[in-house]
Amino acid sequence: MGSAERIRNVAIRVAKWHDAGKRIVVVPSAMAGETNRLIALAQEIMPQPDQRELDMITSTGEQVSVGLLSMALMMLGKEAVSFTGWQIPVVTDSAHTKARIQSIDSTRIMEELDKGKIVIVAGFQGVDSKGDITTLGRGGSDTSAVAIAAALKAEECLIYTDVDGVYTTDPRLVSDASRLKKITFEEMLEMASLGSKVLQTRSVEFAGNFNVPTRVLSSLTDPLISLEEEANSGTLITFEEDDEMEHTVISGIAFSRDEAKITVLGVPDRPGIAYKILGPIADANIEVDMIIQNQSFDDIADFTFTVPRVDYDRAMAVLNTRVKDVVGARDIIGDTQVSKVSAIGVGMRSHVGVASKMFETLYEERINIQMISTSEIKISVVIHEKYMELAVRALHTAFELEKL
């Protein structure tokens, strides 16, 4: 959706699927750079924009896109109709700029599909119970698309983006990164939440929770590519693991540059302290990722956690004004020069030694590990940001991901 010409190409691709007898619902994002432009404009007026009004402003980008795409389809002789999120409606909670979808009424979409029309619904946006416009956060159009696919019980949700699938890591960082033909929802959810920018985390959650078959495809290919070739390209996010996937110990290395680490020093080691620290952080709508509480000495412990770097200043303000005196902390310190690197793979369930190999690789590169977090299918470490790229390349090589 980067230009008028790109929108025409999208229309050609959509018309091709419609000609094949498919009932099509399209969920476009705003045109390239439009959301950033609108946010910058808002900040010229109000340096810290009111969140409700910011949603009112940024939601207009998708409204332009759906209208333009509908007209492009009309120029191809197709019947098309566009809707905003609140016309459907896509109902969300009231967390402006980070709203979560609560329900979708598919009635109006189905009525138009039954008339043979192509339906275009604005992504990224919805409406709360008060009738206020909300937005879903960056990448929210992916979430909108999967949620609408779930509501319609769609055959498949195709996510067209600027890459041709999911890679073992960012190919801009590691030139021999491999494109995965398929990946499990669990792996994709971990990769999305741990820094992979291919899909937004909540879109993967929706796909997994509602069993929506999802495929990541390139929007840069020839729009007239055959349906068979297009349907079998990209990366399929699948529900079931097979022997081949389990044999592959690690499927990818994810990373996030935009991390910050906060430590609350000298808190009493007693029940309820974690809640008293993180409760106000949650109330401020700040996401917490990795958490470590060290072993107490004389019933005193340190409590460390990570937050998105963009939320660091707000988190520190909350802790200093609402937490420090309440819990009796000695001090609160932070570090914004950290990054997170993660190894992900369902093969961890049936293979031992993954953590050992990961830590050995980082040791050989003289990279110090500040925090460690694990799950059944991933291992994440927090390291100094200056070593992040070195760590990703070294781990990608150590696990031989270029051979996938």
- What are the pLDDT digits (tens) for 66-118? 999 999 999 999 999 999 999 999 999 999 999 999 999 999 999 999 999 99
- Residues 341/306, Cβ–Cβ less than 8 Å: no
Residue type for 192, please? A
Positive or negative, the Cα torsion across 234, 238, 243, 249? positive
Mean pLDDT of the region 156-183: 91
What is d(CA 287, CA 100) in angstroms, rounded to the nearest whole number? 14
Beta strands 235-238 and 182-184 are parallel
CA 25: distance to chain centroid?
A: 21
Residue range 252-403 forms a domain whose CATH class is alpha beta
- What are the pLDDT digits (tens) for 174-210? 999 999 998 998 899 888 877 677 787 888 888 888 8
What is d(CA 76, CA 83) in angstroms, rounded to the nearest whole number? 19
- Residues 137/93, Cβ–Cβ less than 8 Å: no
Instruction: Report cis status (omega within 30 of 0) of the bond before 89.
Output: yes
Residue with tokens 């200043």: 313
Of 339, 175, 341, 163, the C-alpha closest to 252 is 341
Q: In the chain, what are the domain boundaries?
A: 4-243, 252-403
Of 79, 97, 98, 99, the C-alpha closest to 89 is 99
CATH architecture, domain defined by 4-243: 3-Layer(aba) Sandwich (3.40)
> Which 8-state DSSP code applies to residue 322?
I
What is the model's pLDDT at position 240? 67
pLDDT band (50, 70, 90) for residue 241: low
Positive or negative, the Cα torsion across 60, 65, 67, 68? positive
How far, CA to CA in Å, does 332 sit from each of 214, 308, 315, 373?
A: 43, 17, 11, 22
- Residues 147/102, Cβ–Cβ less than 8 Å: no
- What are the pLDDT digits (tens) for 37-79? 999 999 999 999 999 999 999 999 999 999 999 999 999 999 9
What are the strands of the beta sheet with 125-127, ordered from one edge?
101-104, 90-92, 125-127, 133-135
* Mean pLDDT estimate for the chain: 93
Residue type for 37, please? R
For 271-306, give the secondary structure using H, E and C.
Answer: CCHHHHHHHHHHHCCCCCCCEEECCCECCEEEEEEE
Q: Is 252-403 in the same CATH topology as 4-243?
A: no
Encoding tokens for residue 107?
Answer: 């009635």
* pLDDT at 247 > cutoff 80: no
CA angle 25, 29, 34 (to 5 degrees): 155
For 16, phi then psi, to 5°, come to -60, -45
Of 87, 83, 202, the C-alpha closest to 136 is 202
Predicted structure pTM score: 0.79
* pLDDT at 132 > cutoff 60: yes
* pLDDT at 341 > cutoff 80: yes
